[in-house]
Amino acid sequence: MKSMHKGFTLIELMIVVAIIGILAAIALPAYQDYTIRAKVSELVVMTSSFKASIAEKAANDNSLVSSGIGMTVTPGGKVGGGSVTDSGVITVSGNTAVIGTAVTVVLTPSVSAAGAVLWVCSTGGNTTMYKYVPAECRN
């Protein structure tokens, strides 16, 4: 009489482990890039107080000439450093230890014909940071 064995063979288990290993090797770098991208997005959000102050000064003066005077970027948390020029250009560098890589975001204001302040986000010409910054900053 034949006995029925139930279960998986060793080779079947090894194939499953190999497939899981391959999937993990592909997913881990993508996950790391995703977490860095989320932290860099928070950097852009942290500039909102500067953007509001610059927009208010520009609306009052109808010019960006002195809209950033007296503003300083204080390092702390995800912010490693940065600056605000007198004309309102905001440059923020990420804290490499917290974010995981060196990233710089530059926000440049301009005044539209209607008097609204428009912002252009960039990486300051460094194309190697494109995979870490929001889509609107990849120019």
What's the pLDDT tens digit per position in 2-26?
777 778 889 999 999 999 999 999 9
DSSP 3: P
pLDDT of 127 higher than 80: yes
pTM flag (> 0.75): yes
pLDDT of 1 higher than 70: no
Percent of the chain's residues with pLDDT above 90: 52
Q: How many CB atoms lie within 10 A of CB 8?
A: 10
The one-letter amino acid at 125: G
Q: Reduce the DSSP state of residue 89 to 3 states and report it.
A: coil
Mean pLDDT of 53-74: 89
**Residues counted in the chain:** 139
Mean pLDDT of 105-113: 92
Domains located in the chain, CATH noted: 10-137 (3.30.700)
pLDDT of residue 53: 93
